[in-house]
Chains A and B, each alone.
Chain A
Amino acid sequence: MMKVIAKGWRPLLVLLLLFIGWETVAIKSRVPDWLLPTPTKIFYEGFNGWANFYPDLLSTIKLSLLGFALGLVIGLLTAILLHLLPFIRESIYPLLIISQNIPIIVLAPLLVIWFGFGLLPKMIVITLVCFFPITVAALDGFKQTSNELKHYMIMAGASNKQLFWKLELPYALPSLFSGLKISATYSVMGAVISEWLGAKDGIGVYMTLASSSFRTDRVFVAIFAIVALSLLFFSIIVLIERWLVRWQLKGAK
Chain B
Amino acid sequence: MKVSHLTVSNISKQFDKNEVIKNLAFTVEKNEFVSILGPSGSGKSTIFSLIGGILSPDQGTIHLDHQVINGKRGFISYMPQTPSLLPWRTIVENVLLGQELQGKKEKEEALEMIDIAGLAGYENAYPHELSGGMKQRASFIRALLSPQSIICLDEPFSALDELTRLDMQKWLLSIWEEHRRTILFVTHNIEEALFLSDRIIVLSNKPSQVAAEFHVPFSRPREESLFLEDEFLEWKRKIYYSLKKTGE
Contact = CB atoms under 8 A, between A and B. Distances in A.
Interface of A: 148-149, 151-159, 162, 166-167, 170, 173, 245, 247-248, 250-253
A149 B127 CA distance: 13
B132 interface: no
A157 B73 contact: yes
Contact of B74 (A151, A157, A167, A252): A157
B185 interface: no
A151 B48 CA distance: 11
B92 interface: no
Interface string B68-88: 000001111110101010111
A200 B183 CA distance: 72
A131 to B, nearest CB: 25
Given A155-B48, A155-B78, A157-B102, A251 B128 contact: yes
B101 A151 contact: no
Contact of B128 (A159, A162, A245, A253): A253
A252 B78 contact: no
A252 B128 contact: yes
Nearest to A153: B101
Given A148-B84, A247-B88, A248-B87, A156 B77 contact: yes
Ranked nearest first, the 7 interchain pairs of A and B with the lowest CB-CB distance are: A157-B74, A251-B128, A152-B84, A155-B78, A247-B88, A155-B52, A157-B73
A170 B86 contact: yes
Contact of A152 (B53, B75, B80, B128): B80
A109 to B, nearest CB: 46
Nearest to B73: A157
B167 to A, nearest CB: 23
Nearest to A251: B128
A162 B99 CA distance: 12
Contacts of A170: 86, 88
19 contacts: A148-B84, A149-B84, A151-B84, A154-B52, A155-B48, A155-B49, A155-B54, A155-B76, A155-B78, A156-B97, A157-B101, A159-B101, A166-B101, A167-B86, A170-B86, A170-B88, A173-B88, A248-B87, A251-B128
B115 interface: no
A148 B87 CA distance: 12
A235 to B, nearest CB: 23
B58 interface: no
Contact of A148 (B75, B82, B88): B82
A148 B77 CA distance: 16
Contacts of B148: 157
Nearest to B88: A247
B72 to A, nearest CB: 9
A149 B75 CA distance: 18
B26 interface: no
A182 B205 CA distance: 54
B129 A251 contact: yes
A157 B126 contact: no
A154 B102 CA distance: 12
Interface in B88-125: 88-89, 97-98, 100-102
A144 B157 CA distance: 26
A162 B101 contact: yes
B101 A156 contact: yes
Given A166-B97, A251-B126, A252-B128, A156 B78 contact: yes
A158 B102 CA distance: 8
Contacts of B52: 154-155, 157
B146 interface: yes
A248 B87 CA distance: 8
Identify which of A152, A158, A166, A167 gathers the most chain B CB atoms within 10 Å of its CB: A152
Contacts of A167: 86
Contacts of A253: 87, 128
Given A166-B97, A251-B129, A155 B80 contact: yes
